[in-house]
A and B are shown apart, each in its own frame.
Chain A
Amino acid sequence: MTILYDEGQQAIATESRRVLEARISKDALLPLLETVGDYHRPFWNIAKEQGWTALALPEPHGGLGLGLIELGLIAHQAGRSISGAPFLTSSFGAAKAIELFGSEAQKARWLPGLSSGEAIGAVAFAAGADPLPVRPDMTITGDRLDGTVRGVAAGIAADVAVVFANGPGMPVLALVDLQGAERIAVPSFDNSRLIADLRFSGVAADTLAVGSTARDAALRILALQSVVTAHEQTGGAEVLMEIARDYALTRKAFGQPIGAFQSVKHRIAELYGLVELARANCIHAAAREDAADFITAAAAARLSATEAYDTAARDCIQIHGGIGVTWEIGLHLHMRRARSLAIEQGSSLFWEDVLVDQLAGEAA
């Protein structure tokens, strides 16, 4: 069952939009594309000030005890403004892993910092096209972690990471303090995602879960993060649809606004459809956080949001014609972000398989 937002939730949406629109501009984001290792600090300061970092974390450890619905609303607005750092999602993923599978000591050590935003978390599972590898590249022996995980969002800045490693004959979900890790910054097409390869040589790691439980736990973390990302993607798609609409109303060709041509207006109407389907799936998935069908709902949200943002990025630029491909107009910020968000936590190829396994009753 889906939900209608209550007054408090609507206030979160309105207030976060107001703050972000007042304080974030593309002029601050464009230079970040050409710097490796930096992010938009004002964005993260806003997130800390506003309590967004604490929103969905548990109250005993400095959180506000709200959930995916509220964090999703923030992520939607962050997507509209192009989030200046990946931490809302990355820290949330790490914090949920600690909250759901960690010991009291681990919670006490990490959750207050993740709640305040002073500590940064990352989720580091992927091996290339497989966001949740059957045979992870990393190995864990006793409490020591070895190996490399590539392309970790927030990897340059994170203090703590959740990893998925090969244990003795079975996979292990583990928590690792990144002080002992080597970070290799990865110059990317979307540098404020702070992508890094993380290399571990006998670094101390705490086991969170083992065996099939570890895989289920890891999938749950990815699904939780994916619902946040899906909101962010939907926000990005929504704002691109609005930008395309506004441009089609003002730009004239052949004596009329280009929005009067069906090839243009239908394209924008199709974007409206994709945005609304994605939004509906996001709201539903956020409301199903504790339900048995959460993975199915998360996968549907993720697939429709990726499609909406990708299509909106392509079509919004196309509708702008020549001006759309200039550096200065910044539509490529969305195009780049659409791609990085499509890949983080697993691309559509991964989520399609997850979803069909659920629907066909083949889920592990």
Chain B
Amino acid sequence: MSDIDTYRATAAAWLRSVAPTFGRDARKGLSEAEDLALGRRYQRAKFDAGYAGINWPTEYGGQGLGHLEKVTFDAEEMKHGFPNFYFGISLGMPVPVLMQFGSDKEFVKERVLKALRGEEIWCQLFSEPSGGSDLAGLRTKAEPDGNGWKINGQKVWTSWAHYSDYGVIIVRTDPTVPKHKGLTYFWVDMKAPGVTVRPIRLAGGDSHVNEVFFDDVKIGDDHRMSPVGGGFAVAIATLMIERYVATDSAGFGPHLDLFVELAKNVRLNSRPAIEDGRIRQQIARNHAMRAGLDSINVRARLMMQAGMMPGPEGSLNKLVAVRSRQKLSELALDLQGSDAFPFDQHASPKEDWASSWINAPTGRIAGGSDETLLNTIAEKVLGLPQDHRPDKGIAFNQIPA
């Protein structure tokens, strides 16, 4: 066995051993508060077992291993339905950025350790009501205030802000220069006076995202994580950190096997639906697409293992997988017909077609909309021109609203 196979086997065995305590079945019927508490205990167990911060430096409490080990562990972890999503953003982006750009090393070390143990959660305050895809168009501002800064404005779609202890935030510090150039990156204490978090209920009924309001929130200059006016570069660095994350060719919806089972069990025109050409076509097409993504992902892992940089085709995953999950979920409900109506809004989108269907639009928008991803492929991979941008080179405060 290669080193990575050994690593995988060991990790899989550990995950299996804790699945009864923290996995899918242990979570059934828990309130969100109870589930979060279980999640914190699971995160602590991961830390103690050496599976937290797998590819982070050991000086910060990480394991000092590579992306490959991280992705390998994540792929195994995904199978058990652990309550780990509360920490996904926190450990995925803000905390790694803090390690990279935080100025007070002792403070950073303490925060990183607490985040790895699940004791503290960080959120990422990027999107605003006036722009999500157009990040640099943000309006929340920070003005000099004594030796520090004073923040006013509003963020939105902030995942897990209601459970967060800290957040990283990008704000406008100079409206008189073109939009990308007037931004600065800070961290904030989410419990500070003037910070108000309001959960937003999403179409599926849950509310893990929030509006966050800043009213004269005062912070010291030691919260600054970029040069003044240099915040956009750090924001981009944030988005690059987790380029090779564990992916799911099912688009975080049900596995195709579940659709095949459904088609075998349901009757259409007095025959099993699996015999219907329309259903067969969708099964075949979805399998071919998912097999392609799986193969792309395996190849990316092999490249990492060989010390090479995976190709840009990894960027297809979310685009292709989530949008086809949406259509397949619609078809699964059609197949069930009048039996499709019973609905449990807390059911897992990985196991329940209605839950997968109603939450699919979120997946196509969050973390880069389909359109943004297509632009990225067109521009960064194929070298096609940028869209026409009338606000290019114009001072932010001169852009027509």
Contact = CB atoms under 8 A, between A and B. Distances in A.
Interface of A: 1-4, 241, 245, 248-249, 256-257, 259-260, 262, 265-266, 268-270, 272-273, 276-281, 283-284, 297, 299-301, 303-304, 307, 351-353, 355-356, 359-360
Contacts of A270: 374
Contact of B280 (A279, A300, A304, A353): A353
A273 B384 contact: no
B287 interface: yes
Interface in B287-305: 287-289, 291-293, 295-296, 298-299, 302-303
Given A265-B378, A268-B382, A360-B274, A278 B292 contact: yes
A260 B388 contact: yes
B378 A269 contact: yes
Interface of B: 256, 260, 263-264, 274, 280-281, 283-285, 287-289, 291-293, 295-296, 298-299, 302-303, 306, 313, 316, 319-320, 371, 374-375, 377-379, 381-388
Contact of B377 (A272, A278, A279): A272
Contacts of B313: 276, 279-280
Specify which of B263, B293, B371, B378 lies most central, judged by the most chain A CB atoms within 10 Å of its CB: B378
B221 to A, nearest CB: 41
B316 A277 contact: yes
10 contacts: A256-B388, A260-B385, A265-B382, A276-B292, A277-B288, A280-B291, A301-B288, A351-B284, A353-B280, A359-B284
A266 B381 CA distance: 12
Contact of B287 (A260, A265, A276, A300): A300
A303 B371 contact: no
Nearest to A271: B382
Nearest to A275: B313
Contacts of B263: 360
Contacts of A284: 291, 295
Contacts of A4: 299, 302-303, 306
A299 B302 contact: no
A259 to B, nearest CB: 4
A273 B377 contact: yes
A296 B137 CA distance: 48
Contact of B288 (A3, A266, A303, A353): A303
B302 A266 contact: no
A356 B292 contact: no
Given A277-B320, A283-B299, A304-B292, A352 B374 contact: no
A265 B374 contact: yes
Nearest to B298: A2
A37 B374 CA distance: 44
